[in-house]
Homo-oligomer: A and B are copies of this chain.
Amino acid sequence: MSHSETAKTAASKPRKARILIIEDSLDHWTIIQNAINESFDLPVAVRVSNAEQALSYLQNAQDMGTPLPQVVLLDLYLPTRQQGWQFLENVKNQPAPVSLIPVVVLSHSSDPADIVESYDRGASSYLTKPTDLRAWQTCFQTLSEYWWDAVRLPESRSFQ
């Protein structure tokens, strides 16, 4: 896709997405919701505010046979980073298809120790939170173009 095509795609927002967002800040959730609505067509973006709720959500989806999220966005500090890491480890130690869901950390922290430890515990990638509205929009546009336009997600066989 060329840049002009990228712009066209963004304008028509053809990407559907099921995203689970673990975010304890209501302010950030409001910003994220707007950015998601700008970047996707018919997004299903579910927010939970802590790791326990996220694990319950995944368990319930499995029990009920409803679709799992395609990607999880994880705010690392919930409010401590141990809670974010515990969620990562728990998900990655579960059987497929839950273990296969890419978990992308989206944190205010740019501490190299947080970055390294997150990859070590199974994060697919680590992004730092943007600092202005335009950068939030760009961030979700990039996530959308990478995970939904370019990447083949593991859901292809397991849970669609």
CB pair A96 B116 closer than 8 Å: yes
Q: How far is the CB of A85 from chain B (nearest CB, A)?
A: 14
Is A45 an interface residue, CB under 8 A from the partner? no
The answer, among B97, B115, B134, B151, for a CB contact under 8 Å with A125, is: B151
Binary interface encoding of chain A residues 125-149 relative to chain B, with 1 for a CB under 8 A from any of its CBs, else 0:
1111000001100110011011101
Q: How far is the CB of A89 from chain B (nearest CB, A)?
A: 15
Q: Quick one: which of A92-124 are within 8 Å of B by CB?
A: 96-97, 99-100, 102, 110, 112-113, 115-116, 119-120, 124
The answer, among B100, B102, B116, B146, for a CB contact under 8 Å with A156, is: B116
Can you show 6 pairs from A to B with CB atoms below 8 A apart? A96-B116, A100-B119, A102-B119, A125-B151, A127-B150, A145-B145
The distance in angstroms between the C-alpha atoms of A124 and B97, with both chains bound, is 15
CB pair B2 A3 closer than 8 Å: no
Q: What number of copies of this chain does the assembly contain?
A: 2
Max chain B Cβ within 10 angstroms of own Cβ: one of A2, A96, A116, A126: A116
CB pair B151 A116 closer than 8 Å: no
Number of A residues near B (Cβ < 8 Å) is 41
The answer, among B3, B110, B116, B127, for a CB contact under 8 Å with A7, is: B3
Is A1 an interface residue, CB under 8 A from the partner? yes
The closest CB in chain B to the CB of A102 belongs to B125
The distance in angstroms between the C-alpha atoms of A112 and B100, with both chains bound, is 13
Query: What are the residues of chain B within 8 A of A7 when measuring CB–CB?
Result: 3
The distance in angstroms between the C-alpha atoms of A113 and B142, with both chains bound, is 27
